[in-house]
Amino acid sequence: MNFSKNGKIGVQKIQYLCLLALISLLNIAAISDTSYQIPVNNLRSDSTVVDSTLADSLSLDSLAMDSLALADSLQRIPKGPIQTKIDYGATDSLVLNLRTQDVEMYGEGAVNYGKIKLDADHIQLNYSTNLVRAEGTEDTTGNMKGKPVFSDDGQVYETENMAYNFGSKKAMITGVITKQQDGFIHGDTIMKNPQDELMVDHARYTTCDLPHPHFYIEANKIKMIPGNKLVSGPFQVYIMDIPTPAIFPLGMFPMPDRRSSGILIPSFGEERNRGFFLRDAGYFFDISDYVNLTLYGTIYSRGDWGFRAESTYRDRYRYDGGVNIEYQVNNSLDGILNDGGSSNTFRFQWRHSPKSRPGQGRFSANVNLMSNNYNQINPGYGQGGLDNNLSQNFTSSVQYSGKIGNVFNFSSSARVNQNVQTKQTDLTLPDLSWSLMNRIYPFRGKNSKGDTWYEKINLNYNGVMTNQLSNKAISSNPGFTIANEDPNAGDIIDFNQDNLSQLLARGQFGVKHTIPVSTSFNLFNFFTVSPSMNYTERDYASSLNYTYIPAQEAVQVDTLSGFNRVYDYSASVSVNTRLYGTKYFKGGNLQAIRHVMTPSVSFSAAPDFTDDSYGYYQDVQVAPGEFRKLSRYQGYAYGTPSASNSASMSFSLSNTLEAKVLDKKDSTGVKSKKVSILDNFSFSSGYNFVADSFNLSNFNIAARTAIFNKKLNISLNATVDPYTYKLLDEYVDNTGERRVDQVRINEYAWKSGNGIGSLSSFRASFSTNLNPKAREKEQKFQKGVDDSDLDIADKAWLIANPDAYVDFDIPWSLRLNYDFTYNKRGFADATTTQAIRMSGDLTLTEHWKINFSSGYDFKAMAMTQTNIGVNRDLHCWQMSFNWIPFGAYQSYNITINAKSSLLRDLKINRTRSWQDLF
């Protein structure tokens, strides 16, 4: 006989025992209603004895002698409605009743029938009635153990006791807890019909997974239709077993296996200007697996209304995206807007992201267009919340990129830049770029290693084209009177057909080609020399012509159509090297100090393109007795070549300083580690050889280090002006401020005894995170080596806004930043600013989290923007509290809501918004 490894008696064991019992019946003239208890611990794999009561009537020979009679008896056993094999067993014992066809299992009993599974400490299975019953048993302490757990095609029921009929597929379950998607049903009695519908008596429905839930919906009757919905009669909401006033005559909770179309319940509230509202009532259309559509409507008590349409689409292997269209009519706001304009607003958003496909083109879109007063009317509402109200610039773009054969990469895009405050809109359509896929090495042979300097010579090609339109003209501020200037040239105009001619007149079109040529080689084995040349060509469809009008003492500017090729070229060479110096020490913890210096010098030169042979500039009289060279391409898309020859040099010196010290954590006392003393200390400046004055550039000094075992980060930046200032006059204005009239003269400061120059600006920044674990994680995050799944855009935003990054794995975090700035020009009074910013979070318990951000401006003697937030995990609920205690955006917000997506509308919300304060 074969026995299961887990100690349970399998179906083959029971069948074998039944065979032996039937053979015994054929050899016994009559037998009374007898039950046989089979202790599992008495069974052995090599035993032919089932029980001592059968030892004399059963032998190995009887099996062969009576096989025909056995087969005949098996044929007479009624089959019943059971469609497949039933596997059952137990760890303690089985009791067989051959006359009633009962099988009772004790001790971790299990029954498997297709997709149906039942586990309990006591199970009774009857083949004649097709009924299985299950219940738990009491242990020696009187507690129930082994309560039935019934599973039917993935639906699990934890019960007190139950009965199930294999024929009718009906079940009666008492004291049940069953999980249905995100929800749990508790009931005194459940009736299950053949359609798997559940009728629950005295039911509690919740999304809390505890045996005694924190909250629930209680109803006398509940009916659950799998994959569809849950319907209840009158029900009441209980929180912590306390009944709430939330009593409803009917309940219907969708429970689809997949998304389905349905009604969306609106939110309600009040606004100061538009009154009470019902917001975002609508309907969700589940069109297909690839696209859906949601329509929303909003109405206000003072007659305002609006609608919104959202649609998302997705092709799993090709693209995904979404569209959002919104329109609002706000008649109640007429006359109270800042600009007095129309109160009707719109917004259009479109997002399209392709999936990466090697060798294929990519089309992407990120469009965000809105009326200029959208954020003013809808502060803090919709995506982005309050941040949208603070934002002024919005950018939209549509782009397609790909390849032209195996030669060029190219991309084409359209962009819209919108400033909702100034109402300026810039449209770029199209914007093209193309470039060679690979650099060209004209002097490198097929089998060459490219070691020589001329084999390293390489060139590339890049091209761009743009067509820009703007509803605001580019201000040139020429410094003279223009005779034919449009008096409305600086005005903002609308993008419409009536203004098309003005928009085209303000437009910019151009094509630019760039060919860089470069190489590099080593000089004296210590210096790296990198010479390069650059050729740039601009193609324009027009040029400017200037004519002086003596009668008006003004200049007339005309636009001449025609193709114009505008090119320039330049050359440069850079030389850099690296110098090392190490000082060793004997004895003590300090073993060595290493100093690394990286000097760099570069030269660049370009000719003067104002020569008449180029035709890029025109000698123009701009006023009586005053002449200038004016560019024929002033304000054009890609500018004009330099108006004078250039020859300049720039130089820099950067330093790093490291120490080698004994590692105190090493028990052997021989292991050492590197410690950074100065991460960087640099000095840079430049010199223009052809300038008529002020040839030397300002000195820029920067230093960066981290001290106290990298606990405190220090950053210093300074600018020194090397020239002398001459004081002409000083006075006190009508506000009591000291004013000076001064002039910067072309004389070095050290010649007048003022050292290398005057300190014109200085900035010092100190920052730290007092939690070492948080500090280490932030450093990894800054370097991009963290294990988070954020995309590049989100990570860049968090690096720029570290206060927004709260890690619940860190028990506490406290970030401190101190900034000091100093600015002074010549004899003018210095201006200073200093402020300290602090932010952090604290996990009080496993379920409480507090975060805050604030600061203090020492010059204004006032606190900066302060925000305090509290988050509480209520197991199946969550609570958040955000408070801005003072300032222009003073507000608070409290939200308590259930976590489950099924009950996401079950929430308590109290808000006092900052816009209500105005």
Instruction: Copy the structure tokens of residue 197.
Output: 């519908």
| Bond from prior residue into 550 cis (ω within 30 degrees of 0) | no
Rounded average pLDDT over 233-261: 72
3-state SS, 784-828, equals: CCCCCCCCHHHHHHHHHCHHHCCCCCCCEEEEEEEEEEEECCCCC
Contact 20, 58 (CB under 8 A): yes
Contact 308, 346 (CB under 8 A): no
Q: What DSSP string runs through 67-91?
A: HHHHHHHHHTS---S--S--EEE-S
For residue 775, give every residue at least 6 positions away whose Cβ sits within 8 Å of its Cβ, in sequence order, or none.
710, 711, 768, 769
Q: What would the pLDDT profile of 651-691 be if each residue is shown by its tens digit? A: 999 999 999 988 877 767 678 888 889 999 999 999 999 88
Out of 69-83, 422-436, 468-482, 893-907, which region has the weakest mean confidence (pLDDT)?
69-83
Parallel, antiparallel, or unpaired: how do β-strands 131-135 and 617-623 relate?
A: unpaired
What pLDDT, on a 0 to 100 scale, did the predictor assign at position 342?
A: 54
Q: Estimate to the nearest angstrom the gap between the alpha carbon of 803 and the chain centroid.
A: 15
Instruction: Copy the structure tokens of residue 576.
Output: 């850099």
CA–CA dist 620, 47 (Å, integer)? 120
What pLDDT, on a 0 to 100 scale, did the predictor assign at position 377?
A: 66
CA–CA dist 299, 329 (Å, integer)? 10
Q: Estimate to the nearest angstrom the gap between the alpha carbon of 197 and the chain centroid.
A: 41
> Is 0.75 topped by the overall pTM?
no
Q: What would the pLDDT profile of 812-845 be if each residue is shown by its tens digit? A: 888 899 999 999 999 999 999 999 998 888 887 7
**Residue 615's CB: how many other CB atoms inside 10 A?**
13
Position 400, amino acid? Y
Instruction: Copy the structure tokens of residue 241.
Output: 């077993």
Rounded average pLDDT over 508-516: 93
Residue 276 pLDDT class (50, 70, 90 cuts)? confident
**Residue 636's CB: how many other CB atoms inside 10 A?**
21
Alpha helix (H) ranges present in 300-404? 374-377, 386-390
Return mean pLDDT, the chain: 77
Residue extent(s) of CATH 2.60.450.10 domains in the chain: 183-257
Provide φ and ψ at 283, rounded to 5°.
-145, 135
Q: Does domain 1-169 have CATH number 1.20.1070?
A: no
Residue with tokens 């114009």: 564
Name the CATH superfamily, with its identifier, for domain 183-257.
Lipopolysaccharide (LPS) transport protein A like domain (2.60.450.10)
Rounded average pLDDT over 573-579: 95
What pLDDT, on a 0 to 100 scale, did the predictor assign at position 841?
A: 84
Q: What would the pLDDT profile of 616-653 be if each residue is shown by its tens digit? A: 999 999 899 899 999 999 888 898 998 888 899 999 99
Instruction: Copy the structure tokens of residue 706.
Output: 């981290």
Which of 240-249, 534-543, 767-776 is modeled with the greatest confidence?
A: 534-543
What pLDDT, on a 0 to 100 scale, did the predictor assign at position 689?
A: 93
Contact 139, 149 (CB under 8 A): no
**Residue 619's CB: how many other CB atoms inside 10 A?**
11
pLDDT over threshold 90, residue 315: no
Contact 146, 121 (CB under 8 A): yes
Rounded average pLDDT over 58-85: 43
Out of 193-207, 406-420, 794-808, which region has the weakest mean confidence (pLDDT)?
794-808
Residue 799 pLDDT class (50, 70, 90 cuts)? very low
Specify whether the backbone of 421 is left (phi greater than 0), alpha (psi in -120 to 50) or beta: alpha
Q: What element of type H or E holds 23?
A: helix 11-27
Residue 696: DSSP 8-state: B
CA–CA dist 558, 555 (Å, integer)? 10
Instruction: Report helix angle 11-27 to 67-75, nearest 10.
Output: 110
pLDDT over threshold 80, residue 393: no
**Residue 343's CB: how many other CB atoms inside 10 A?**
21
Residue 266: DSSP 8-state: P
pLDDT over threshold 60, residue 163: yes
CA–CA dist 531, 574 (Å, integer)? 6
Which of 15-19, 335-339, 540-544, 860-864 is modeled with the greatest confidence?
A: 540-544
CA–CA dist 616, 564 (Å, integer)? 10
Q: What would the pLDDT profile of 437-463 be if each residue is shown by its tens digit? A: 888 988 888 777 777 888 889 999 999
CA–CA dist 330, 110 (Å, integer)? 67
CA–CA dist 416, 348 (Å, integer)? 13
